[in-house]
Amino acid sequence: MQNYSHTIPTKIYFGKGQISRLAEALRPFGAKVLLTYGGGSIKKTGLYDTVMDILSDEGFTVFECGGIEPNPRIESVERGVKLCRENGIEVILAVGGGSTIDCSKAIAAGVYYEGDLWEMASTRHGVLKALPLVDILTLSATGSEYDGGGVISNMKINQKLGNSYTFPAVSICDPTYTFTVSKYQTAAGTADIMSHIFEEYFSRTPDSDLADGICETVLKSAIKNLPIALAEPDNYSARANLMSISSIACSGIPSYGKQSSGWPCHAMEHELSAFYDITHGVGLAILTPRWMRHILKKDPSCEWRFVRFAENVWGMEGEDEHALANAAIDRLEEFFRESGIPMTLSELGIGEEHFAEMASHANRGGYLKNSFVALTDEDIVEIYRACL
């Protein structure tokens, strides 16, 4: 087991009715609020009105930055920063999914950033000085409500880059707000949660019992609760479980004591989204089983991890370890397909024309040569091809 240190400064209010905490969460930071949100789902669900009523009753002054895109763009960050600077905003309130929260983190940091905001998004740095951020989560997926990262896209140059910005001060996580999430986004979000776990679980460290146990519990909860949430969108227990595993999956906790895997599927997926603007979780669901088959073939010394995945997550049994490992991967692919996720890139209209460029960018600086099983540019192209 490796050394680790970890801090999460975010306070979570989890459960039904926790919006009652909103005013007290914002007040210590000031009265001038920038309300950020996406393409309008919060207006359809009525959450926008609820939030505005609370803010007005409690004497806050509200400025708005709506229309934040899925795969949020640098232009939205620029717009939000301008609004903050011009109006002396004291605190940002993000209401939405990972895209809105990520964009808000970049806005919060961008307010203090001297220089070009794409330079901020594309330069490696730690957590930055930022305006305080409070969020109300409406989609269980990214874990942005409980981490310091954000992912911003620049579609002009086909780049989508994750970076550190700031942690939310407070996240209000009420599972009832996810009752309206479409089947497609529910399945994609769960695939994202599972992928955050796979990126930690498939590590060379064999003896981090706590982290591996958390990983397996999260995966089993996703496998149990996604079909329920798809069949009964307002099943509180299913939505609540998906929301709590969303927060922990990307928090860093499931990697305690483990050697970093390099997050290969995320590196490959961000290229797909950068070129084709696809839903992050869908890209991950398509890539993951193909990446698994590729590395198992390339380096059979990693088979023990897949056997553990088969036994502890899927409850499979058998003497033939190779067969078990492959059966676990097949079952995962089937699970995503049964959840309604299109499981080939061709179904999304993606061909192989940019694969070489995407592979070289995903692997810039030989980044993925240190991943769980080292990947070359050629490996990545092969994995993309297997997804067609």
Q: Which residues are at the interface with ligand NZQ (CB under 6 A)? A: 38-42, 45, 70-71, 96-100, 102, 138-139, 141-144, 147, 149-151, 177-178, 180-181, 185, 189, 192, 250, 266, 280-281
Question: Do 111 and 63 contact (CB within 8 A), yes or no?
Answer: no
Using CB atoms, what's the residue nearest to Zn ion? 192
The option from Zn ion, ligand NZQ, none interacting with 177 (CB < 5 to 8 A, set by class) reads ligand NZQ
Helix axes 183-201, 280-298, angle to 10 degrees: 30
Tally of CB atoms within 10 A around 164: 16
6 or 315: CB nearest ligand NZQ: 6
The DSSP symbol for 372 reads S
- Report the nearest approach of Zn ion to the CB of residue 266 (Å): 6
Q: How far is the CB of 59 from Zn ion (least distance, A)?
A: 38
Q: How far is the CB of 277 from Zn ion (least distance, A)?
A: 16
Nearer to ligand NZQ, 139 or 214 (CB): 139
* Geometric angle at alpha carbon 277, from 139 and 230, rounded to 5°: 35
Structure tokens at 350: 């993606």
Please report whether residue 192 would count as binding Zn ion according to CB under 5 A.
yes
CB atoms within 10 A of CB 141: 30
C-alpha 327/C-alpha 306 separation (Å) is 9
What's at 381, amino acid-wise? V
**What residue 100 binds from Zn ion, ligand NZQ, none (CB within 5 to 8 A, per partner kind)?**
ligand NZQ
Task: Name the token pair of 294.
Answer: 């590729």
Identity of the residue, 141 or 242, whose beta carbon is nearer to ligand NZQ in the bound complex: 141
Residue 127 · residue 106 · CB < 8 Å:
no
- Separation of alpha carbons 308 and 134, rounded Å: 39
Structure tokens belonging to residue 26: 């914002």
CB of 360 to Zn ion, least distance (A): 22
Do 105 and 46 form a contact (C-beta atoms < 8 A)? no
Distance of alpha carbon 254 from alpha carbon 201, whole angstroms: 8
Residue 190's binding partner among ligand NZQ, Zn ion, none (Cβ under 5 to 8 angstroms by kind) is none
Q: Closest CB to ligand NZQ among 90 and 271?
A: 271
Distance, CA of 353 to CA of 253 (rounded, Å): 38
- 145 is an interface residue for Zn ion by CB under 5 A: no
Nearer to ligand NZQ, 100 or 288 (CB): 100
Question: What's the angle, vertex CA 344, arms to CA 312 and CA 346, rounded to 5?
Answer: 170
Instruction: Give the one entry of ligand NZQ, Zn ion, none that residue 148 binds, where binding means its C-beta sits below a cut-off of 5 to 8 angstroms depending on kind.
Output: none
Among ligand NZQ, Zn ion, none, partner that 98 touches (CB below 5 to 8 angstroms by kind): ligand NZQ
Residue 102 or 192: which CB sits closer to Zn ion?
192
Report the residue number, 196 or 239, with the smaller CB distance to Zn ion.
Answer: 196
3-state secondary structure at position 13: strand
Instruction: Compute the least distance from the CB of residue 207 to ligand NZQ, in Å.
Output: 27
CB of 99 to Zn ion, least distance (A): 12
Which of Zn ion, ligand NZQ, none is residue 99 near (CB under 5 to 8 Å by kind)? ligand NZQ
Say if CB 358 and CB 159 are below 8 A apart: no
Site residues for Zn ion, window 82-111 (CB under 5 A)? none
Per CB under 5 A, does 333 bind Zn ion?
no
Q: Residue 173 Cβ, how far from ligand NZQ at the closest point, in Å?
A: 12
In one-letter notation, the amino acid at residue 292 is M
The stretch near Zn ion (CB under 5 A) out of 50-58, 185-193, 297-305, 321-329 is 185-193
Radius of gyration of the chain (CA): 20
Nearer to Zn ion, 198 or 256 (CB): 198
Provide, rounded to whole angstroms, the least separation between the CB of residue 48 and Zn ion: 26
Instruction: Write the DSSP string, 133-196.
Output: EEEEE-SSSS-GGGSSEEEEEEGGGTEEEEEE----SEEEE-GGGGTTS-HHHHHHHHHHHHHH
For residue 152, the minimal CB distance to ligand NZQ (Å) is 8
Please, which residue, 266 or 305, has the CB nearer to ligand NZQ? 266
Task: Enumerate binding residues for Zn ion (CB under 5 A).
Answer: 192
